[in-house]
Structure 1
Amino acid sequence: SHTTSGVHKYDRYFHHGLYRSGWTYEGRAIGSPFFTPDPDGEGFLNNKFRAHHIGIGGQWPNLVHTIPYKLLLSFARNDGTYALRYRPKQNVFYGLLDVGLLRTTIDLNVQAGVELNNTASPKFGAGVHLVYKL
């Protein structure tokens, strides 16, 4: 897309002519969850962003046993691509909480997730992770 060698500010990262879908597998970006693949398989809708991520985890003391937990929080400001910028910019917050409730021959974790976006409806999710140990 330019005549000089090296990286250029208008490069379409992970999206080029060699592979129609860009740097993806099964419709998901390889390398970073903050790149937004085009649902039509034509590269990326968003490859210009600033993101911050923090995660903490540990063991919460309890009278019977400790409770393992993990909290992951991310904030991304998405700007689209250089050719097609988002107006307004997308501000997206992601959160995931994973808590271990049972630790015996059966491990039981519950999970809750949220995605809040200034340009779309909020998304919420929940999950159960169950492992039986032989």
Structure 2
Amino acid sequence: MNKKQHIQTIICRQSDRAHQEYRTRLNASVDCVIFLLRQGMAFRGNDESENSKNQCNFLELLKFLGNHNEDINNVTLCNALENQQMTTLEIQKDIVNTFAIETTDAIIKELGNGLFSILVDEAHEAYAGMCLPSLL
């Protein structure tokens, strides 16, 4: 095997490994989002600094997953490059938005051309004032 082929083989192996690590990080983040959505829990907390004993539900759940799965632990949080951790608010919002689109599409497909109504209920929050959640 010549030198060029050898380098290409190494790059290909690294690329496959990086792809698998990315997929593991993404799946772990998606699993955390699914859990928090199903439980109706907040994602973010007041103190998300590294020194905090209780950062936020999303990060704490991701740590929990990592503590119980070595494959996840090896590629998430401090074991991942800072720009590849898959923990930012934007990533979380993208994952939630994807679930919202999939859920809406499934409901619309099931309804077809049928009629439906939207239930609007007001809820008062002590800290946030009034909000009107809409349910399909």
Same fold (TM over 0.5): no
Q: Please, what TM-score do these two structures have when normalized by structure 2?
A: 0.21
Q: Please, what TM-score do these two structures have when normalized by structure 1?
A: 0.21
Q: Which has the higher helix share?
A: 2
Q: Does 1 or 2 have the higher relative contact order (CA < 8 Å, sep 6+)?
A: 2
